């Protein structure tokens, strides 16, 4: 997945369509909740429908906008295995007054009820961006054991010039260095990049390193429109 040549310069625009004078060379996408319709941090609470979703999410994933030693954060940084995470998180669930559910196999494996659902409208945007000459990349907080679950969903190597998976690089969003790494690996500076994520704190972290952050909500219709405005693409 080598960076492509011949990238055009697109003048950035704000929500009103007014040029900001910024040249956009690349658009970087999160996976869960952006390229996928599911896979958001809040989706994990669905395993405990009778408990407070915020309490469940905090126990299972910590404060997602922080980069801490919570087992989930360590798992996404590739420091521990899924099996170790499942052992560690049982104590956190118990402390929160939640009876731990039986261990499940990772999504995509036999016996797991979870399946990733591609966001075809977002994937169509990626294809349009590439046809226009812009570079594209994926930057995902993810887990080694989940790779097989999402890798087969689409033709990712054909859609992206590079993919940064947190467990492979030992960093996770919102660490500023992972944003800089993603931009550098496709040969652009952060200021020439647009970044999409469904987690607001991750978008804000991208803004702080100089990227143009776009928050994806729901199926991402407004985010897709904004990206098209930012890079000067016609609306589909």
Look at residue 109 in the predicted model and tell me its pLDDT.
47
Judge whether 5 lies within some domain.
Answer: no
Look at residue 168 in the predicted model and tell me its pLDDT.
98
Residue 103 reports pLDDT greater than 70 = no
What's the pLDDT tens digit per position in 7-17? Answer: 344 444 443 33
The structural domain count of the chain equals: 2
Give the relative orientation of helices 120-131 and 221-231 as an angle to the nearest 10 degrees: 10
Q: Do 130 and 211 have their domain in common? A: yes
The band of 135, judged by pLDDT with boundaries at 50, 70 and 90, is very high
Look up residue 229 and give its two tokens.
């405005």
Residue 202 reports pLDDT greater than 80 = yes
Residue 39 reports pLDDT greater than 80 = yes
Q: Residue 31 sits in which domain range?
A: 10-38+117-231
Q: Do 137 and 215 have their domain in common? A: yes
Q: In what order do the strands lie in the sheet with 193-197?
A: 162-165, 135-140, 26-29, 193-197, 212-215
φ, ψ dihedrals at 38, nearest 5°: -125, -170
Look at residue 104 in the predicted model and tell me its pLDDT.
54
């Amino acid at each position: 997945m080598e960076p492509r040549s011949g990238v055009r310069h697109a003048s950035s625009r704000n929500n009103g369509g007014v040029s900001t004078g910024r040249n956009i060379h690349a658009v970087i996408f999160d996976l869960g909740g952006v390229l996928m319709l599911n896979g958001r941090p809040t989706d994990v609470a669905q395993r405990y429908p009778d408990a407070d979703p915020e309490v469940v999410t905090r126990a299972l994933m910590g404060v997602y906008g922080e980069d801490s030693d919570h087992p989930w954060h360590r798992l996404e940084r590739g420091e521990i295995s899924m099996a170790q995470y499942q052992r560690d998180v049982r104590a956190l669930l118990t402390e929160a007054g939640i009876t731990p559910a039986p261990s499940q196999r990772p999504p995509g494996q036999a016996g797991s009820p979870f399946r990733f659902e591609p966001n075809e409208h977002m994937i169509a945007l990626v294809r349009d961006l590439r046809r226009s000459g812009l570079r594209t990349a994926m930057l995902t907080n993810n887990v080694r054991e989940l790779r097989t679950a999402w890798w087969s969903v689409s033709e990712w190597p054909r859609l992206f010039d590079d993919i940064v998976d947190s467990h492979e690089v030992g960093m996770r969003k919102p660490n500023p260095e992972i944003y800089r790494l993603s931009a550098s690996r496709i040969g652009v500076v952060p200021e020439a990049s647009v970044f999409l994520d469904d987690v607001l704190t991750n978008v804000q972290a991208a803004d702080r390193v100089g990227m143009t952050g776009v928050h994806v909500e729901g199926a991402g219709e407004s985010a897709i429109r904004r990206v098209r405005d930012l890079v000067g693409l016609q609306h589909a």
